[in-house]
Amino acid sequence: MTGGSGDEVLVVGGGVIGLTTAVVLAERGRRVRLWTRDPVERTTSAVAGALWWPYRIEPVARARAWALRSLDVYEELAGRPGETGVRMVDGVLGETELDEVAGWATPRLPSLRAATPDEYAGAGLWARLPLIDMPTYLPWLRDRLTAAGGTVEVRTVTSLDGADAPVVVNCTGLGARTLVPDETVRPVRGQLVVVTNPGIDTWLVSTDPSGAMAYFFPQPGGLVLGGTAEPDAWSLEPDPATAEAIVRRCAALRPEITGSRVLSHRVGLRPTRAAVRLERLPLPDGRTLLHHYGHGGAGVTVAWGCAEEAAGLV
């Protein structure tokens, strides 16, 4: 790596973790540059269904703490949904019992309750949670960064050795597999289908006895249907058979989905790791490299809490 000067921080990676970390640092007075391979609208984060709830992330205890801090922020942002893309929406977490979340969620979310049989045919929790429209939220987050004095540059990074700042924060997600390199970062492929909304205003997450997932999220651009979780699958091309199965599973839960017109298909690769890597490494020349990646399918859920912890290490 080459040198930089002053209090400058370079954040590499423009997904929700990189953007949020950059915002926190800039609003704490650091001079922040962000390098992103893709415009924020085309990052993996842009594909997310983006319901707030910890999913596929370790270590669990720290992730829950990060999530609860992020919940504080999202609840505040939900007061301006047209601007931020964040809304508080009711729905059901299927196959979940109150006692499973009693130690961490119920003190913070006292409205959590068991779903009634009319609401869900099985054990489930009724909850009012943040639902984030990523096509609105990510550009808003980028604008918040630039308003705080940060800059964003679309730039492909092939080596962290080329990062020219006193502090470099590596938020490259799955890209860390080759950049670090860290082969413990693995993709978990998710596929979604966006359809016209037949009038559904609640969300639902369900898992059938075979382990197949079905979920739907009412977003401004349509009803987002999911989904899949395929470990070590790298294809970004939507699979037609998978898409048909997603629609079929969701329609089994809400029959009115059957006639909905397909608007688009989305595929994203969740950057999963045995545990989030949040680690500060002093470099021989006196500069600092901070690794901050491996958030799996919970990047949106933990972003603010995790970013604040990362900023504290800079």
Residue 59 in domain: yes
Which CATH number covers residue 22? 3.40.50.720
Q: Given this model, what pLDDT does residue 1 score?
A: 47
Residue 145 in domain: yes
Q: Which domain holds residue 39?
A: 1-87+130-185+273-314
Share of the chain above pLDDT 90, in %: 92
Residue 300 in domain: yes
Number of domains making up the chain: 1
Q: Does residue 5 have a pLDDT over 90?
A: no
pTM over 0.85: yes
Per-chain mean pLDDT for the chain: 95
Q: What is the pLDDT of residues 238-249, one digit of tens each?
A: 999 999 999 999
Residue 191 in domain: no
Tokens of 139: 């550009």
Residue 224 in domain: no
Residue 25 in domain: yes
Residue 248 in domain: no
Rounded mean pLDDT, 125-149: 98
Rounded mean pLDDT, 114-142: 97
- pLDDT-based confidence at 6, cuts 50/70/90? low
Least confident range of 4-13, 61-70, 130-139:
4-13
Q: Given this model, what pLDDT does residue 3 score?
A: 44
Rounded mean pLDDT, 105-131: 95
Q: Does residue 309 have a pLDDT over 60?
A: yes
Q: Environment class of residue 285 by beta-carbon count within 10 Å: exposed (0-12), middle (13-18) or buried (19+)?
A: exposed
Q: What is the pLDDT of residues 143-196, one digit of tens each?
A: 999 999 999 999 999 998 878 899 999 999 999 999 999 999 999 999 999 999
Q: Does residue 78 have a pLDDT over 90?
A: yes
- pLDDT-based confidence at 68, cuts 50/70/90? very high
Rounded mean pLDDT, 10-34: 98
Q: Given this model, what pLDDT does residue 266 score?
A: 97
Share of the chain above pLDDT 70, in %: 98
Residue 35 in domain: yes
